Structure 1
Amino acid sequence: MRAPKLSSLSSRELYALTAALLVLGLSFSMRYMFGGLRPLEISEIFLLTLVVIGTGFLGHELAHKVSAQRYGCWAEFKLWTVGAIMALLFAAISQGNFIFAAPGAVYIASRSSYFGEGIDRKANGIISLVGPLVNIGGAAIFGLALVVSTALGVGDVVVGHSFYFLQVGLRINLLLGAFNMIPFFILDGQRVFTWDRRVWAAVAIPLWIAAVAVSLPPTL
């Protein structure tokens, strides 16, 4: 059997990434659709959310792909139709308060295996870890931008008195990273946990704490 070739972004993969991006953009925008905002404001929020998802979700998935290719593996993002439907369904039912952020995944093949079964445990763990690390980096960038803009007196980009662009960027990146570090099913956390529980705990626990902290309503 032939070894899988390193792959660039195919038209099929671009379609899958675009579809997943739109699904998550709509899901994360859902809470503002129930807030009595004007259609123009909702449209602006959706577009800004796509920017955030573009950095958080696409960056996360492409990090997996590039990392896997560095290990000599074939890697391609594929849309998970059931996951995409679940993302929209949970977002609609919860009015945007719960997002099932798994509309697809990067499938990795070493020789003939999917999800990295043909790769050693350490390599599989590292490939899985880079996605959440990208989200941590994205959260740090949005957080730093928020601190600097506040210090300069500029403040956040606000739409409709309820959507704060930099704060949303910080929150979404933390939520995406935290969700994917759950050690279950095909999520990144499962493979990181299998590789090294100490590494998993060092990343997952602070990430979960930060994600909860930015998701709680202000007390003042």
Structure 2
Amino acid sequence: MSTSKYIKLLVIIAAVAALDIYVLSPGLLGITIGGTALSTAIGVTLLLASALVIIYGSYALLFKQPVVLPVKEIATHEEYVESLAAYKRIKVLEEDVDVSLEQLDRIRKKKDTLLNVLDQRFDASELSYKKFASVTYEVEKLFYLNIRSMLSRLQLFDETEFKRVMTQKPATFSRELIQAKVDVYNDYLSYIKSSIGTNEEILLKLDKLLLEISRLDSFEPGDIENMPCIQEIDSLIKQTKFYKQ
């Protein structure tokens, strides 16, 4: 369970408790349970409402399953994070999802760092700036395309069926059939790990690009195409040129 959810729940409880103490404190608003009929009714209603808020908050934060957006509707960084985080509840995927969420945080920071460095070293109208910025955005696009592909597979992953397949005994079905089912789910898991590996490679190439930019004192726009990191990035982009979601 995410620590942030517990923190949010504690904030809700603290806010409700503070409100109850303020309203029901003698000498403040004059509302007390056991006083006049109206005062008692207001006090009891407040306590009941407070209990309902805490109960609903607990359910919404700790037990309610998050709504997963259709992959095609995901557009922002935050939506990618939210959609991916929903799969942390699947035990076998939890570690991989954590790694991918960390990568999402890193890609945003690296892109911002690269663009800041470009702003410091070039004018936005220069060809060098445009080339480096274009490469940065293309790599970012490739990264998120990879995340979309992961999410498409994750939406098809049935945790209940996975557990059933992994614990089935030969007495139920033939060994060949059981192995075929196991292979299907192993393919799911292998694809997720492969996608994470590809995104880690993308992050590494951005690190190399940043390092090479920082090392160069001056260069012509034509030299950019010959930079090793640019060639590696171009190769990676071309590998997925005809990729479709």
Same-fold call, TM cutoff 0.5: no
Q: Which has the higher helix share?
A: 2
Larger C-alpha radius of gyration, 1 or 2?
2
Query: More strand by proportion, 1 or 2?
Result: 1
**Greater relative contact order structure (CA < 8 Å, 6+ sep):** 1
TM, length-normalised to structure 1: 0.29
TM-score of the superposed pair, with normalisation by structure 2: 0.27
